[in-house]
Chain A
Amino acid sequence: MRLPILAPTLSGLAILAGSSAFAAGELNIFNWGEYTSPELIKKFEETYDVKVTITDFDSNDTALAKARQGGNNFDIVVPSSTFVPVWIAEGLLLESRPDQMENFKNMDPRWVDVSFDPGRHYTVPWQWGTTGVIVDTDLYKGDPNTSTIFLDPPPELAGKVNVVPEMGDVMALAIRAEGGQDCTADMEVLKRVHEKLVAAKPKWVAMDYASIEKYTGGDYAAGLSWSGAAMRVRLEAPRFVYGYPKEGYPIWMDNVAILKSAPNVENAKLFQNFIMDPENAAMISAYARYANGIKGSEQFMPEDMRNAPEINIPPEFVDKGEFSPACPPEVNDLYTRIWTDVLK
């Protein structure tokens, strides 16, 4: 008598197994908006017969808050270098050992022993860039490689400077210009930083994630800018140059990591390995317009990026750049208060 009952149960199990086999062909990516090359995803889907779903986030803080709350089915997340240690410390990331993957040999040795993930046990570079200054050389004939462009704008630029409203970047550049270390809590340095920012602010016209047209259209003549954004401006209006502040400037890198809660770990690992292939890494760069950290990807990059000074740091400025860490909570509080006071 049991057999007729068992039979449908078994077939039910078979269906379940079938559907879970189907579910294995999925990958859910949680990445910054407008950052994931559709061609790359198409190629990945076709190569591994996996269906990829992309969800956007707009800041490291939102991404972290969302991941912490749980209840998601994300496999891949792309935090910035500053936040990777936080993600690791909170136990959100899987130690997927990219350093043991097949394509790891392609990673630029410069990005292997990074402070936020030494030896790359968790993460693979997605895109990296620098924070520096941009300036219109028609108006300003001096040296562009200095943060005085926005911290103490020369008369010809006063009232035409735009500063990206990112506390971390602005503070990092201002602190280095005052001779301090990243995340310093040295009140003497911070006092000078505060004074400097208060004095500089009247010479800024806006604090805006500037669109290209604002620069090319003449609303802004200089500013604190990210390298990729500066390159897009220059491609439209060649009178603009990107400067690497000689006082020191931050490097950032967004990194592909796998969540501990990932439902599709194997596919996620395939993806990490996949993007360490130079041709695939170049696809990311061609879309997001930043460098990628994979050796040999240059030859697959679009013409206008191969020799772009915004992407290939000139040798004399390489050692001025450093990864900024996420500052400890009490230091961040201090910076928020300085920041609020400057913008009050």
Chain B
Amino acid sequence: MSQAQEIAEEMARRSVRTRWWLSAPALAVVFLFAIAPLAVIVLYSFMAKGDYGDVKYWQFSLDGWFSVFFERGLFDDSIGIAQAHVSILWRSVKLALITTVVTLLIGFPTAYFIAIRPPSQRDFWLFLITIPFWTNLLIRTFAIQEVFRNEGVLNTVLMWSGLIREPLKIMFTDLGIFLGMAYVYLPLMVLPIYASLEKFDFRFAEAASDLYANNRNVLWRIIIPMTRPAIIAGCILVFIPALGAYVTPRLLGGGKNLMLGNLIELQFGQGRNWPLGAALSLTLTGVVMLALLVYVRAASKEGRSHG
């Protein structure tokens, strides 16, 4: 082996080592605050449940996972799919999907509107979008409650103006949940799409128009395909937290129907079944991973079509 090669290898080894050292703090944070808690949840989901909450340490049991998906009949001995859990999971997924669609329908035009303002005004509009982030989610949700209530701001104004006679029923309905969720998650949709539209070269749109594309074609065949990664990113950013949404459906929907988040809380609280709670949390994590996988797939397809 020549000396030059040896030196080169030694240098490479050293730089790898330096890189590990430099990333050690970040790795430690990831391990301590992401992997370790997750590992605890995984462990708990495989242990036997304690009599009054907690788990029986180091007693292996699959009961938690079993009851995520299956159940013994309540009033007979048959074993079947855990219907209640399936319908709660479906409700959460449905809510997250509808929230994503609604925020996209409102968020895209909003982002577009901001992006075509003169640069000096854009900051102002963005500022308006981010204002709600200054306030805690719980407080914002209570504030919307005050707007939606039968004797709330909205109904008072509408009845005073004579537009309606009876108060609109928004509070404690699905409509109320969707409106609240859309309000809460809208900025997460607007911001990535805006970031992409801001960099968008509108000369492409002009060129398309010059080539006799109508507005619809410009939107569907030029603007949307070119901002697609941002749209997908926005959808993911909304879908994931919406899936675990907890406070908003509970306060605006009245809490009569459990969401996945409420179901998990029940197991760690009054249900006193921590392994089931842990297994349900991991199921939720699994659904989120699935959504991310879809994103990665879609994004890589994007890369290929451009390459």
Binding site for B on A (CB under 8 A): 59, 61-62, 64-65, 68, 83, 86, 90, 165-168, 187, 190-191, 194, 201, 204-208, 217-219, 326, 329, 332-334, 336-341, 343-344
Q: Are B263 and A218 in contact (CB under 8 A)?
A: no
Q: 3 shortest A-B CB distances, which residue pairs?
A: A206-B254, A344-B84, A336-B271
Known: A219-B150, A341-B74. A61 touches B268 (CB 8 A): yes
B121 at the interface (CB under 8 A from A): no
Give the chain A neighbours of B149 by CB distance below 8 A: 217, 219
Residue of B nearest to A165 (CB): B255
Nearest Cβ on chain A to B247's Cβ, whole angstroms: 12
B102 at the interface (CB under 8 A from A): no
Q: What per-residue 1/0 map shows which CB atoms of B254-270 lie under 8 Å from chain A?
A: 11111000010011111
Nearest Cβ on chain A to B70's Cβ, whole angstroms: 12
Residues of B42-68 contacting chain A, CB below 8 A: 49, 51-54
Q: Please tell me which one of the listed residues A90, A166, A219, A341 contacts residue B270 in the complex, with CB atoms under 8 A apart.
A: A166
Q: Are B256 and A329 in contact (CB under 8 A)?
A: no
Nearest Cβ on chain B to A80's Cβ, whole angstroms: 12
Known: A201-B256, A336-B271, A344-B84. A329 touches B151 (CB 8 A): no
Q: Are B256 and A218 in contact (CB under 8 A)?
A: no
B273 at the interface (CB under 8 A from A): yes
Q: Are A332 and B258 in contact (CB under 8 A)?
A: no
Give the chain A neighbours of B75 by CB distance below 8 A: 187, 190-191, 194
Known: A338-B74, A344-B83. A206 touches B255 (CB 8 A): yes
Count residues of chain B with CB under 8 A from any CB of chain A: 33
Given contacts A206-B255, A344-B88, 5 further A-B contacts (CB under 8 A): A61-B268, A194-B75, A205-B254, A329-B51, A336-B272
Nearest Cβ on chain B to A163's Cβ, whole angstroms: 8
Known: A206-B255, A207-B256, A219-B171. A68 touches B54 (CB 8 A): yes
Docked complex Cα distance between A204 and B71 (Å): 27
Q: Are A343 and B272 in contact (CB under 8 A)?
A: no
Docked complex Cα distance between A107 and B266 (Å): 36
Q: Are A59 and B256 in contact (CB under 8 A)?
A: no
What does DSSP make chain B's interface, helix, strand, loop or mixed?
loop
Docked complex Cα distance between A61 and B49 (Å): 14
Q: Are B172 and A205 in contact (CB under 8 A)?
A: yes
B87 at the interface (CB under 8 A from A): yes
Residue of B nearest to A168 (CB): B270
Nearest Cβ on chain B to A147's Cβ, whole angstroms: 18
Q: Please tell me which one of the listed residues B87, B151, B266, B271 contacts residue A218 in the complex, with CB atoms under 8 A apart.
A: B151
Nearest Cβ on chain B to A207's Cβ, whole angstroms: 4
Docked complex Cα distance between A68 and B87 (Å): 35
Residues of B169-201 contacting chain A, CB below 8 A: 171-172
A-B contact pairs, 10 of them (CB 8 A): A167-B266, A167-B270, A207-B256, A217-B149, A329-B52, A336-B267, A337-B74, A340-B263, A343-B256, A344-B83
Residue of B nearest to A336 (CB): B271
Give the chain A neighbours of B150 by CB distance below 8 A: 217-219
Q: What per-residue 1/0 map shows which CB atoms of B72-102 lie under 8 Å from chain A?
A: 0011000000011101100000000000000
Docked complex Cα distance between A90 and B85 (Å): 32
Number of A-B contacts (CB under 8 A): 97
Give the chain A neighbours of B71 by CB distance below 8 A: 337
Known: A194-B74, A329-B52, A344-B83. A339 touches B266 (CB 8 A): yes
Known: A166-B270, A332-B271. A64 touches B52 (CB 8 A): yes
Docked complex Cα distance between A22 and B38 (Å): 42
Give the chain A neighbours of B151 by CB distance below 8 A: 217-219
Give the chain A neighbours of B271 by CB distance below 8 A: 167, 332-333, 336, 339-340
Docked complex Cα distance between A59 and B265 (Å): 12
Q: Are B256 and A344 in contact (CB under 8 A)?
A: no
Known: A86-B52, A219-B171, A344-B88. A333 touches B255 (CB 8 A): no
Q: Are A340 and B84 in contact (CB under 8 A)?
A: yes
Residue of B nearest to A205 (CB): B172
Known: A206-B256, A207-B255, A344-B87. A336 touches B273 (CB 8 A): yes
Q: Are B54 and A65 in contact (CB under 8 A)?
A: yes
Give the chain B neighbours of A218 by CB distance below 8 A: 150-151
Docked complex Cα distance between A329 and B258 (Å): 22
Give the chain A neighbours of B257 by CB distance below 8 A: 343-344
Give the chain A neighbours of B254 by CB distance below 8 A: 204-208
Q: Are B270 and A61 in contact (CB under 8 A)?
A: yes
Q: Are A329 and B272 in contact (CB under 8 A)?
A: yes
Give the chain B neighbours of A194 by CB distance below 8 A: 74-75
Give the chain B neighbours of A219 by CB distance below 8 A: 149-151, 171-172
Nearest Cβ on chain A to B174's Cβ, whole angstroms: 13
Q: Please tell me which one of the listed residues A64, A165, A201, A206 contacts residue B172 in the complex, with CB atoms under 8 A apart.
A: A206
Docked complex Cα distance between A281 and B256 (Å): 37
Give the chain A neighbours of B256 by CB distance below 8 A: 201, 204-207, 343
Docked complex Cα distance between A125 and B290 (Å): 52
Nearest Cβ on chain A to B302's Cβ, whole angstroms: 39
Q: Are B172 and A65 in contact (CB under 8 A)?
A: no
Q: Are B74 and A344 in contact (CB under 8 A)?
A: no
Among B75, B263, B268, B270, chain A packs the most CB atoms within 10 A around the CB of B270
Nearest Cβ on chain B to A173's Cβ, whole angstroms: 15
Give the chain A neighbours of B258 by CB distance below 8 A: 340, 343-344
Docked complex Cα distance between A119 and B290 (Å): 58
Give the chain A neighbours of B263 by CB distance below 8 A: 340
Docked complex Cα distance between A302 and B75 (Å): 50
Nearest Cβ on chain B to A326's Cβ, whole angstroms: 7
